[in-house]
Amino acid sequence: QFCEEFKEKCPICVPCGLKLAEKTQTAIVRHFGLQILEHVVKFRWNNMPRLEKVYLKNNVMGLISSGTQSILEEESHIKDVLSRIVVEMIKREWPQHWPDMLKELDTLSKQGETQTELVMFILLRLAEDVVTFQTLPTQRRRDIQQTLTQNMEKIFSFLLTTLQQNVNKYRRMVRVSFPWAQANCRVGIAALNTLAGYIDWVALSHITADNCKLLEMLCLLLNEPELQIGAAECLLIAVSRKGKLEDRKPLMVLFGDVAMHYILSAAQTADREGLVEKHYVFLKRLCQVLCALGSQLCALLGSDSDVETPANFGKYLDSFLAFTTHPSQFLRSSTQITWGALFRHEVLSRDPLLLAMIPKYLRASMTNLVKVGFPSKTDSPSCEYSRFDFDSDEDFNAFFNSFRAQQGEVMRMACRLDPRTGFQMAGEWLKYQLTAPVDTGPMNCNSSVFFLSAKTGEGLCCIFSPSFVQWDAMTFFSESVISQMFRTLDKDEIPVNDGIDLLQLVLNFETKDPLILSCVLTNVSALFPFVTYRPEYLPQVLSKLFASVTFEVIEESKAPRTRAVKNVRRHACSSIIKMCRDYPQLVLPNFEMLYNHVKQLLSNELLLTQMEKCALMEALVLISNQFKDYERQKAFLEELMAPVAGLWLSPEMQRVLSDPEAFISYVGADNKIADPVLEDPSGLNRSRISFCVYTILGVVKRARWPASTEEAKAGGFLVGYMPSGSPVYRNPCTEQVLKLFDNLLALIRTHNNLYTPEMVARLGDTFAKALDMLEVEKNAILGLPQPLLELYDSPVYKTVLERMQGFFCTLYDNCFHILGNAGPSMQQDFYTVEGLASQLLSSAFNNLDNIPDYRLRPMLRVFVKPLVLSCPSEYYETLVCPMLGPLFTYLHMRLSQKWQVINQRSMLCEDDAADDNPESQEMLEEQLVRLLTREVMDLITVCCVSKKGVEHNTTAAVDGDDDEAMATEVTPPASAELTELGKCLTKQEDVCTALLITAYTSLSWKDTLSCQRTTTQLCWPLLKQVLPGNLLPDAVSWFFVSVLKGLQTHGQHDGCMAALVHLAFQIYEALRPRYTELKAVMEHIPDIQRDSLEQFDSKLLNPTLQKVADKRRKDHFKRLITGCIGKSLGEQFRKEVHIRNLPSLFKKVKPSLETNVLENEDGEGLTALFEP
């Protein structure tokens, strides 16, 4: 504290600081002395007499000249603070009051290495502050940057000379093992770092001057171990430059023999050194250089360009491929974007050298797709590199998944150029895997795999097994290249015989390993398009898939299935659905066979899970859509749903579904169970309810009328036309589904009532937490990574409690999915159900007070939003408005209370109040409130604002006059209008009030994402709708204050701040002429400049004055309300640095208004040219 007070208040800081900074003092004392001097320059400079400034400047330059230890002895933090002091003075005085600054630095640099290094630090720091971080006022920044630009030739020449001289000295001294060599090396590194700070923004002509002397020097330094990383960094920045294509052409010199030789030899040398961090970092930089070179080539080479494909393009591709085949997974992934750009390029994609590279690239991909290299393992050379690049296996797993997806994209591009090669390689690899012996690897997998392996008498793979990682990679490869081949080749060019041969091999392959079988099923799906050429193979494909639907590792086993087994069965079901969805005409002739097979499977209640049963029924429904005959499809659906209708409409089920107590008892949630893993007496009852709900959902989702109006008319689906002329169809499932509808609503009502305190109290001891969130849901909400995939080998639900939680969660979601799909599926037959609005209000919206946030969210997303979006405007008055009105009013009240609790909690945190609620639970609750808020605001936006109005453009401020503009401009286009539904809702005063209050209150809730969306998309269109009416002055003030409160809460976030400033500006401009109260609100803003406000107001209220440009008005307004724009914690207590503007050097000359532009100085104007 004494030190801080001394810096702030002591009148003799300069002499004290200089005394403490003498080199006879210890490093820590010198550092404090220099800190004092820096503080003086930053905070007292404006009030210092001129002579004292000169005295301080001369002494600081003296410290650089003779007041520091030698370059190798001086502490780096002393050098850093000394260079900072000089830069702070430059920012305040150069060039106007210190024109010789560059000369002084040049003179200092001639004194020796110590001074030269400090000069480098000064020049780098200056470029960073002025250009990179832009930490000074606009005019000062412009003056300094333009002066730097004017002197850039000298600066660059100085930097290059310094680099060259010191590198030459260093090389000479190293040869004779001279100990002072390191000093020159240090200066060389400093010069490279400084160059890196300038290369990014100076004119490209400086980089390419003297026949690209700089680039040549950098290439030479790539083979200098001490300097190579700095050289590679500079080279990378230079090669990554954007700008005019004409200016970038000289960069092609790097494809020349000399440059290419140095780059490649440096890469080979670094790679030979083995895995040393320094060399590995250098390799990464070189890889980035080659990538940037590729990007430049793609930009410069075009059909209308005079740049030709470089002679060394082949050598470049070979070296690039070397990085793609390097053991480091990170280096491999770094090359993918550039490969993609090359394969996509209009000229290069036809180059024979690149086409010859495709088989090599695909061969490399076959290796790169194999998931090895986990940092915790030692089963691949990649593992060692991964330990440098990734903190954990989870990190690596996330990286590898995105790397693989990227590879898939690039492989498809390569196969677009050469589809046959990819297919041939996929076929070879597939054949190899089908015949290769299974290698499960060391038995380090999970115990259940070990147990199952022992039972079956053969080894089973886990996800790290050598066989599985190969199968997995091969499957991804074949899926990518085969799909691309079908898209690229003409029908008659497809190698049908080869494809059918492969399909035959895959269908004949038998395995009891669930992980491998899952890969086999993917290959069946990938090869299935060949069946369209040979339909006779369809029955074989179906029987393979049906066999997998009932797959077990051990038949008749009572043990719970592992996740891998469940995945196989689910995979088979989804393959059947996909086949029926994408190739319904192909499957239609086999419909009877399919139907009989499904009936046989459904006859055994325990053979399939409910989800599996319903998946098969969905497949049948998809094929039935091809009947294109309303009566026939309706009869089929009636037959298919008969078992469900019988069960769902039975007296017992009706009693259970409409009485919460009976329901709890039926599903077994009131039991106390001794063995929660094995004992589950009510499991069958739960599965019956699930089966009914799954089936209703499947039918509602899949049953449809024909896409063609003619076919729909012929098949009896068309029932008339809307007033607008659009056709009205009937769905063949409507009658069956509506018959079951009352009980579905009863179940939803009952389910909502389970959350009442009385019902929660009735849950048995084992199931006290049955209505809680699943762990997987909690992790998703908190953004925690899922544990690594060892899960494949463990049972899916471990206890009956988890099974019960899963049952309630899935049941709740599925019920609302049915309601969400009912509108699009059954259309007017659903919307005209008698009293539908009141039925939905009394069921879905029943007991909302007790429904937790994690259940309310999916209800809004999967039911309310789809219902609203699909509802025709004819039913707004009768259905949507009566439902949404009370809902929006309720949601506003609920969210306001929730945010109040969160705000109070954050205030109490400071008082260390004791709380039973653990921190993790609080975080979960807060995050849930955020997610619910986003869901609600999204729903309101979807209901009220038309799609075209929700786009917003975000543009960074451009350099030059407009630098004081907002960092991010967020301006909703003028077309942001209310939808028909929005207008319908705002006609009702109470609903309109609820919408406006929710939208504007939400601006100060602590959720940035919600605030930005609401500000840009919703607030203005809603307010604009009520502007023509007579708003109360208090209401207008409240809207404006709400936006200012939002600025106080979110002002630290550029995007939010810009959007809120724009909204406040819109409100003030539109309403200030009618409401003087807004000016009163402005006057209460902290630190507002009254005269500036008066000036702004007078311009706004005086229509005769010429309108200032919108941007300037907005900037003026932003300066007025700066006092209420919130700052981040780090900014709040930071002392303001004030740098005064100096007389401007670079004024724009404006033409005088008196001069007649038609006259020149001779008096002869343009008019004279047209005289006869």
Do 1023 and 996 form a contact (C-beta atoms < 8 A)? yes
Q: pLDDT tens, 1067-1087?
A: 999 999 999 999 999 999 988
Question: DSSP alpha helices (H): ranges in 708-799?
Answer: 709-715, 734-739, 741-753, 757-762, 775-782
Query: CA of 948: how far to CAs of 313, 945, 974, 1014, in Å?
Result: 46, 8, 10, 15
d(CA 329, CA 367): 11
Q: What is the pLDDT of residue 788?
A: 60
Residues 832 and 704 in one domain: yes
* Closest by CA position to 481, among listed 444, 427, 533, 521: 427
Q: What is the pLDDT of residue 749?
A: 98
Q: CB neighbours of 1122 closer than 8 A, spacing ≥ 6? A: 1087
Query: CA of 534: how far to CAs of 537, 977, 1170, in Å?
Result: 6, 54, 81
In a domain, 135, yes or no: no
Q: Determine what percent of the chain falls in helix, strand and coil, rounding each to the nearest 5.
A: 70, 0, 30
d(CA 695, CA 536): 31
3-state secondary structure of 513: coil
Residues 293 and 322 in one domain: no
Q: What is the pLDDT of residue 988?
A: 87
d(CA 335, CA 853): 45
In a domain, 1149, yes or no: no
Amino acid type, 813? D
Q: What is the pLDDT of residue 903?
A: 87
In a domain, 886, yes or no: no
Residues 595 and 571 in one domain: yes
Residues 753 and 839 in one domain: yes
* Closest by CA position to 501, among listed 472, 456, 534: 534
Do 221 and 167 form a contact (C-beta atoms < 8 A)? yes
Q: Which residue is listed with tokens 């990938």?
A: 526
In a domain, 169, yes or no: no
d(CA 73, CA 213): 33
Residues 576 and 429 in one domain: yes
Residues 408 and 429 in one domain: no
Q: CB neighbours of 176 closer than 8 A, spacing ≥ 6? A: none
3-state secondary structure of 26: coil
Q: Which tokens is 744 given?
A: 């579905």
Query: CA of 772: how far to CAs of 754, 850, 899, 901, in Å?
Result: 12, 13, 22, 21
Do 198 and 156 form a contact (C-beta atoms < 8 A)? yes
Residues 553 and 679 in one domain: no
Residues 258 and 332 in one domain: no
In a domain, 289, yes or no: yes
Do 515 and 440 form a contact (C-beta atoms < 8 A)? no
Amino acid type, 801? L
In sequence order, the β-bridge partners of residue 969 are 955
The phi, psi pair for 795, rounded to 5°, reads -60, 150
d(CA 1084, CA 1087): 9
Q: Which residue is listed with tokens 């002091």?
A: 85
First to last CA, the chain: 86
d(CA 235, CA 391): 29
The parent domain of residue 337 ranges over 312-417
DSSP state of 605: T
d(CA 1140, CA 1162): 43
DSSP state of 871: -
Query: CA of 155: how far to CAs of 120, 132, 140, 162, 200, in Å?
Result: 11, 18, 20, 10, 15
DSSP state of 541: H
DSSP state of 493: G
Residues 867 and 748 in one domain: yes
Q: Which tokens is 218 given?
A: 């950098």
> Is the Cα torsion angle 600, 556, 560, 461 positive or negative in sign?
negative
Q: How many domains does the chain have?
A: 5
Residue 909: CB atoms within 10 Å: 11
DSSP state of 978: B
d(CA 118, CA 186): 11
Report yes or no on whether pTM surpasses 0.85. Answer: yes
Residues 507 and 428 in one domain: yes
In a domain, 719, yes or no: yes
* Angle at the Cα of 158 from the Cα atoms of 153 and 164, rounded to 5 degrees: 125
Q: CB neighbours of 438 closer than 8 A, spacing ≥ 6? A: 458, 459, 461, 467, 511, 513, 516
Q: Which stretches in the chain have pLDDT values below 50?
A: 447-448, 450-451, 453-455, 457, 790-791, 913-914, 949-974, 1151-1172
* Closest by CA position to 608, among listed 521, 668, 548: 548
DSSP state of 724: T
Q: What is the pLDDT of residue 918?
A: 64
In a domain, 185, yes or no: no
Q: CB neighbours of 761 closer than 8 A, spacing ≥ 6? A: none
Q: Which residue is listed with tokens 């440059």?
A: 259
Question: What b/e string do you get for 118-151 counting C-beta neighbours within 10 Å, with b at 16 or more?
Answer: bbbbbbbbbbebbbeeeebbebbbbbbbebbeee
Residues 409 and 424 in one domain: no
DSSP per-residue letters across 299-332: HH--TT-S----TTHHHHHHHHHHHHTSS-HHHH
d(CA 703, CA 611): 18
Residues 327 and 404 in one domain: yes
Do 515 and 471 form a contact (C-beta atoms < 8 A)? yes
Q: Which tokens is 471 given?
A: 């199968």
**H-helix or E-strand spanning residue 728:** strand 727-729
Do 283 and 271 form a contact (C-beta atoms < 8 A)? yes
Q: pLDDT tens, 795-843?
A: 555 678 888 999 999 999 999 999 999 999 999 999 999 999 999 999 9
Cβ-in-10-Å burial (0-12, 13-18, 19+) of 661 comes to middle
In a domain, 1091, yes or no: yes
